Amino acid sequence: MSMQTYIYLLRLPERLYDPECWTEEEKTIVSRHFSYLKKNVESGVVVLAGRTEQTDETGFGIVIFLARNETEAERFMNNDPAVSSEIMTGELSPYRLALMNEKFSIGV
């Protein structure tokens, strides 16, 4: 079975717009979220992940990834620690990549 591309949109609840309001537990969950995505980048499941710079209702994150079907895609999103711990909401959609700059690189 061929892999299909999916995207999920991540949003913070209003109470977490201000980084000063985050508890240590929430910071730990976000660290686990980052590790989950990094592990899946390394295994080839996640194509890219990132977020906007806004820290209000206009801000969001995205994860573009591969899955065999929508059930597997939903499971992947729901296993993201940020989603499963409910400090972010996830909205899943099938995604069709039209263009990609293969020369793009990120300097972290």
pLDDT band at 107 (very low <50, low <70, confident <90, very high): low
Residue 100 reports pLDDT greater than 90 = no
- Tell me the C-alpha distance between 66 and 61, whole Å: 17
Q: What is the pLDDT of residue 42?
A: 97
Residue 103 has a pLDDT of: 81
Contact (Cβ atoms closer than 8 angstroms) between residue 64 and residue 49:
yes
Give the CATH number of domain 4-94: 3.30.70.1060
For residue 37, what pLDDT band results from cuts at 50, 70 and 90? very high
Contact 57/74 with Cβ under 8 angstroms? no
DSSP 3-state of 108: coil
Report the length, in residues, of the chain: 108
> What DSSP element (H or E) covers 5?
strand 4-11
